[in-house]
Amino acid sequence: MATQIPLNVNGRTQTVTVDDPQMPLLYALRNDVGLHGPRYGCGLGQCGACTVHIDGKAVRSCQFPLAKAAGRKILTLEGLGSSAQPHPLQKAFIAEQAVQCGYCINGMIMQAKALLDTNRHPSDDQIKQALAHNLCRCGTHVRIVRAVKRAAAEMA
């Protein structure tokens, strides 16, 4: 039976119609809202590629039931900024060229934003700890840490 669920994504409310309200939020964001920022990596909450913010907290959207997201404030990579008007974190990732394939980068930026929201001057170790559960296979880690530091400096 189809259910209608109102979602507030990046400041805009829209209703998605689904058969299963327990469907992970990720699929609604990608297939119903049409976003590309949050990515499917494992569906198990292990890699972080699907990370979004819900009410200001970094959440693995592949593990988050759609029904629970109803009416809450969802922020995705697209909500941070665009290539025309990038968020300081996005700008820093461009400046540091902190991307190889880039598939994990959504999670890196969204998780880093959660860190910078609570710690404006993180040390290298704090950045590494904050990103310890976000996986990157290309080996872009060194640049990602530099990018987060750069963003922190710019935002401070």
Partner 1 sequence: MLNQTISRRDFLKTGGSLVVTFSLSGLVPGAGAQSSPTGKTVAVDAVDGFVAIGADGSVSIYSGKVDLGTGVRTALTQIAADELDVPLAKVKVIEGDTALTPDQGPTYGSLSIQIGGMQIRQACATARAALVAEAAKRLNSAPGDVATQDGMCVARGQRIAYNELIGNKEFQLKVDPKASLKDPAKYKVVGKSVPRLDIPAKVTGEFQYMQDFRLPGMLHGRVIRPAGVHSELISYDDAAAKRVPGFVQTVRKGNYLAVVATSEWAAIRASRAVKAKWSKWEGLPDSKNLWEYVRKTKINKDEELQKVGNSADALKSGAKKMSATFDFAIHTHGSIGPSCAVAEWKDGKVTCWSASQATHLLRKQMAQMLKMKEQDVRCLYIDGSGCYGRNGHEDAAADAVLIAKEVGKPVRVQWMRADEHGWDPKGPPTLIDYRGALDAKGNIAAWESEVFIPDRPSQISVTLVAADLAGLPKESAHPGNIHQALAIPYTIPNIKATAHWLAETPLKPSWIRTPGRMQNTFGNEVFMDELASAANADPVEFRLRHLNDKRGIECLERAARLADWTPRKSRPEYSGDIAYGRGVSYIKYELVRTYVAVVANVEVNKKTGKIRVTKFHVAHDCGQIINPDGLKNQIEGNVVQTTSRTLIEELKFNRSAVTSLDWKSYPILTFPDVPEVAMDLIDRPNEKPWGAGEPTAAVVPSAISNAVFDALGIRLRSVPFTPDKVLAALKTA
Question: Interface residues with partner 1 (CB under 8 A)?
Answer: 1-2, 18-20, 23-24, 27, 30-31, 35-37, 39-44, 46-47, 49, 76-78, 80-83, 86, 90, 93-94, 97, 99-106, 109, 125, 127-129, 131-145
- What's the closest the beta carbon of residue 127 comes to partner 1, in angstroms? 8
Say which residue the tokens 């970094």 belong to. Answer: 58
- What's the closest the beta carbon of residue 48 comes to partner 1, in angstroms? 9
- What's the closest the beta carbon of residue 93 comes to partner 1, in angstroms? 4
Q: Decide whether 142 or 153 has the Cβ nearer to partner 1.
A: 142
Q: How large is the greatest C-alpha to C-alpha distance in the chain, in angstroms?
A: 50
User: Would you state the structure tokens that stand for residue 118, as one six-digit string?
Assistant: 């609570």
Residue 75 CA to residue 149 CA, distance in Å, equals 22
Q: Which of 88, 145, 137, 138 is nearest to 117 (CA)?
A: 88
